Amino acid sequence: MAVPIIGKFCAEYRLPNEFANAFTRHPGIFYVSLKGGIKTAVLREAYDQNGVLVDRDPMLELKERFVAIMEEGHKQYLEDLNRKREALQKFREDAGCKDAKAEIEDQLEEEWHSEDSEGDDDTDDAYVQ
pLDDT in tens, 68-127: 999 999 999 999 999 999 988 888 888 777 776 777 777 777 777 666 555 555 555 555
The answer to whether residues 42 and 62 belong to one domain is: no
The answer to whether residues 10 and 37 belong to one domain is: yes
The answer to whether residues 77 and 115 belong to one domain is: yes
The answer to whether residues 32 and 71 belong to one domain is: no
**Average of pLDDT values for 55-79?**
90
Q: Judge whether 84 lies within some domain.
A: yes
Q: Give residue 67's pLDDT.
A: 94
The answer to whether residues 31 and 77 belong to one domain is: no
Per the structure, the complete domain to which residue 115 belongs is given by: 58-120
Q: Judge whether 129 lies within some domain.
A: no
Reported pTM: 0.39
Q: Judge whether 52 lies within some domain.
A: no
Number of domains in the chain: 2
Q: Judge whether 91 lies within some domain.
A: yes
Instruction: Report how far Cα 51 is from the mean position of its chain's Cα atoms.
Output: 30
By CB atoms closer than 10 A (0-12, 13-18, 19+), residue 40 is middle
Neighbouring CB atoms inside 10 A of 10's CB total 14
Q: For residues 31 and 9, what is the distance between their CA atoms, to the nearest angstrom? A: 20
Contact 3, 23 (CB under 8 A): yes
The answer to whether residues 114 and 80 belong to one domain is: yes
Q: Judge whether 112 lies within some domain.
A: yes
The answer to whether residues 10 and 38 belong to one domain is: yes
What SS3 state is found at 41? strand
The answer to whether residues 65 and 34 belong to one domain is: no
Q: For residues 102 and 27, what is the distance between their CA atoms, to the nearest angstrom? A: 84
Q: For residues 47 and 29, what is the distance between their CA atoms, to the nearest angstrom? A: 11
What SS3 state is found at 20? coil
Of the two residues 4 and 84, the one the predictor is more confident about is 84
